Structure 1
Amino acid sequence: MFYEPGKTPHNLPFDPFKACVVPRPIGWISTTSPLPPTTRDTPYPPPPPPPPQHNLAPYSQFANLTFDPPYVMFAANQKADGSRKDTVRNAEATGKFVVNMATHALRAAVNASAQQLPYGADEFAAAGLAKAFSRCLPGDGDGGNPVPVVRDSPVRLECVHHATWRLPGNPPLGSADVVVGRVVGVYIADWAIDPASGRLDLARVRPIARCGYYDYAVVNDTFEMIIPGLDEATLAGLEGSRARVEKLGLGSKL
């Protein structure tokens, strides 16, 4: 079969494009609403601010972009009413967000956090998830509105907002915000690292991925292939090894 999206019909019950780019990792994004601004008219002492509103949602249009320094991106389609997703609003307003790894053990909570709840509703509570908080984002450590994180997620990426691009699309859901963040902090649970190899043990962590429609996959096994004939600089890049790059004296060449 062949069809041109938006021009010719595919004549299938579901859009096949949804299953053509798979499996897609899931960025389980947590954010916080901004604290209210203070002004000259704010009485002294100022009244206690309302508590920030915490948000959590999964995005399967998610990927890492580069590694030195690391950047990630996620794309959030707008809501059915044409408004932007809460995640995007919060990330832009506060300049920060956290990516929590979605795993098979947490799959029910991932699904529950995808509900379309009103702005300000706490998906952590709706999904029955315990919270921890970010450790190195702007405002952390001084009472400056840290970002909530999924306490039981074995991998978390703390990100500062870098940029947002708006992709126009057909109403009501087609338009999307592409959000890019720079990773400034990485948490990995000790049990998720294989002590023999020193690598993140994906078979132990069992991350889940989106496969189109309502289907998901889980990583239960991995295999290794090393591209033949690669130079040391490229191998260092594939490993994401800054130490190896510096040892080879290649820092200025990458």
Structure 2
Amino acid sequence: MYTLDANNLPAKTHYKLLSGSIIPRPVALVTTMSDKVINAAPFSYFSVVSAEPPLVSISVQRSGTKQKDTARHAIASGELVVHISSEGIVEELNKTAATLSEEESELDLTSLTLAPSTYISVPGIAEASIRMECILYDHIEIKKEDGHTTADLLLAKIVGYHLSPDVYDQETGYLDAQSIQPISRLAGNDYSKLGELFTLKRPK
């Protein structure tokens, strides 16, 4: 067993250890909007926070001191759309990870199409089987000991769901994981599919 002092490790090592051990991680494809452009980007530092109120979290790592477009747009407008990434859109999703100028939209690199939202002004991605219209619930700056901000943690409150009948059973209210075909992030350039399912009943 190797024992590493976390206080003496560089950020690159932390990234390798965290992204390689906390796996698989779901991937959110997030759309936001500025006055000039609609932004789309994937994030694997993403999870559910609460069902009451319905909250999800997205951690947007900064590039040096610069805030990324997704964080800046969401904070400024208070709106974003979170999509569950799936096998059917993963190739196009990967294209949205490109580094572009603020005036360019990543969606122009893809074949993805926009769908109008019902409750907010930011549009979503039509090809996603699950999309969640959100408003910004809170923004937390993640800082190092020296006070330098390294990430923007967005807590997003869901105000509307759009669910494909291919994945959602309206009668039972349940989603079918195998129909969703979710993809997840591993380390490096690696992703994974859902894999084998098994069931364990919770103890009383």
What's the TM-score once normalised by structure 1's chain length?
0.72
AA at the equivalent of 1:33:
S
1:228 corresponds in structure 2 to 203
Distance 1:217 1:174, change over 3 A: farther
Distance 1:161 1:197, change over 3 A: closer
Identify the structure with the greater strand proportion.
Answer: 2
2:133 corresponds in structure 1 to 158
Runs (5+) with no aligned partner, structure 1: 35-51, 138-145, 230-254
AA at the equivalent of 2:52:
D
Distance 1:107 1:74, change over 3 A: same
Q: Deviations over 1:58-98 (max 9, x none)?
A: 11000110112210110011124x21010011101111101
Larger Rg: 1
Alignment of 1:6-155 (within 5 A): 6-7=7-8, 15-34=16-35, 52-80=36-64, 82-137=65-120, 146-155=121-130
Distance 1:130 1:21, change over 3 A: same
The structural deviation recorded for 1:131 is 0.9
The structural deviation recorded for 1:223 is 2.5
- Runs of 4 or more, structure 1, over 3 Å off, are 194-198
Distance 1:197 1:163, change over 3 A: closer
- Separation in 2 of the partners of 1:121 and 1:8? 36
Distance 1:217 1:199, change over 3 A: same
Distance 1:214 1:174, change over 3 A: farther
- Separation in 1 of the partners of 2:186 and 2:144? 22
Distance 1:174 1:23, change over 3 A: farther
Q: Deviations over 1:111-138 (max 9, x none)?
A: 100111111211111122111121112x
Q: Is the 8 A contact 1:54 1:122 kept in 2?
A: yes
AA at the equivalent of 1:93:
A
Distance 1:228 1:55, change over 3 A: same
AA at the equivalent of 1:59:
F
- Separation in 2 of the partners of 1:134 and 1:201? 23
Runs (5+) with no aligned partner, structure 2: none
RMSD: 2.4
- Separation in 2 of the partners of 1:83 and 1:7? 25
Q: Is the 8 A contact 1:77 1:174 kept in 2?
A: no
